[in-house]
């Protein structure tokens, strides 16, 4: 989706040296671009007949909740540790340095649901794979994953094999 590329800002050395951070805040400031993104995801995923959208903290909430509203589907958050107040499950995964953990409420998805997972960016795929594990631990199926940006050179899609992956901009 070429028409949103100019709304993705490269910030070198953020949050640490050597990382080029993809800043999507200009997209949030452009309602027409948000509508195009939401429409593209909706078109790509509707045939899969999802029953719920799951968004990954924190930028996955922004795109995921808007998509859920547009598709008239429920939304559930996957969050970083210590943020969710109710009964929850956790999954830990490897980061470039150290380990990360993600959590989801036990009633975040129901057994047998067909879930689409949303985040702003796919890098190594570790975060999205952990979100899939949470959904699957609760007995639901991840039928698709949507990203506004995919850093193709990191091969993150390999970690998500077997599900439909929709990336709107490849960088
Ligand atoms: P990964 O688990 O390596 O696929 O990393 C994906 C997660 O980290 C997503 O939630 C992204 O928001 C964030 N992320 C990773 N790399 C970047 C980047 N270069 N710019 C912005 N966000 C990033």
* Cis ω for the linkage preceding 22 (within 30 of 0): no
> Is residue 96 flagged as an active site residue?
yes
**Does 159 sit in the ligand 1 pocket, CB within 6 Å?**
no
Ligand 1 nearest atom to the CA of residue 56, by list position: 10
pLDDT in tens, the chain (171 residues): 889 999 999 999 999 999 999 999 999 999 999 999 999 999 999 999 999 999 999 999 999 999 999 999 999 999 999 999 999 999 999 887 789 999 999 999 999 999 999 999 999 999 999 999 999 999 999 999 999 999 999 999 999 999 999 999 999
pTM (predicted TM-score): 0.97
**Does 126 sit in the ligand 1 pocket, CB within 6 Å?**
yes
Taking each helix axis as running N to C, give the angle between helix 59-71 and helix 31-45, from 0 to 180 degrees, rounded to the nearest 10: 70
**Does 95 sit in the ligand 1 pocket, CB within 6 Å?**
no
Instruction: Give the pLDDT confidence score for residue 8 in this predicted structure.
Output: 98
> Is residue 136 flagged as an active site residue?
no
CA pair distance 68, 51, nearest whole angstrom? 10
142 bridge partner residues: 115
The domain segmentation of the chain, as residue ranges, is 49-170
State the pairing for strand pair 88-94/99-105: antiparallel
Strand order in the sheet with 114-122: 75-78, 52-56, 114-122, 141-150, 164-170
- Which CATH architecture does the domain made up of 49-170 adopt? 3-Layer(aba) Sandwich (3.40)
């Amino acid at each position: 989706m070429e028409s949103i590329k100019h709304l993705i800002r490269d910030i070198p050395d953020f949050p640490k040296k050597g990382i080029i951070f993809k800043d999507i805040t200009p997209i949030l400031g452009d309602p027409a671009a948000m509508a195009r993104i939401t429409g593209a995801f909706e078109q790509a995923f509707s045939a899969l007949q999802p029953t719920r959208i799951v968004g990954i903290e924190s930028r996955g909430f922004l795109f995921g909740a808007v998509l859920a509203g547009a598709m008239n589907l429920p939304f559930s958050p996957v969050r970083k540790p210590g943020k969710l107040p109710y009964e929850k499950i956790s999954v830990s995964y490897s980061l470039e340095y150290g380990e990360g953990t993600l959590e989801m409420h036990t009633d975040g998805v129901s057994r047998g649901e067909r879930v689409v997972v949303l985040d702003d960016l796919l890098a190594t795929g570790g975060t999205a794979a952990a979100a899939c594990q949470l959904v699957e631990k609760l007995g639901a199926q991840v039928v698709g994953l949507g990203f506004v940006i995919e850093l193709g050179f990191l091969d993150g899609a390999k970690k998500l094999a077997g599900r439909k992956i929709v990336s709107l901009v490849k960088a």
